[in-house]
Amino acid sequence: MSRKSKDKGINPELDKFISNLMTQVMNDPEASVTDKVKVLDRALKLEALKLKDADEGWGSGFMDVEDDEDK
């Protein structure tokens, strides 16, 4: 199940699945706080990945030569 290079971004099915999972777990009165936090953590990580994907310059300045010239 490899992704082609032209397929960029988050899989919409994954986004929908995590959204539905979060709704179900948060509405479940028998779900523990740990379960709720785990699902919330997954949703937050997905949002962070979306932000990284949207910012094409993210990480581009990691090894800039200009940083070494200050020494």
How does pLDDT run along the chain (71 residues), one tens digit per residue? Answer: 455 545 667 788 988 999 999 999 999 999 999 999 999 999 999 988 888 877 776 666 666 666 555 55
Residue pair 26/36 in contact (Cβ under 8 Å)? The answer is yes
* pLDDT score, position 52: 81
Phi, psi of 64 (to 5 degrees): -65, 140
CA max distance for the chain: 58
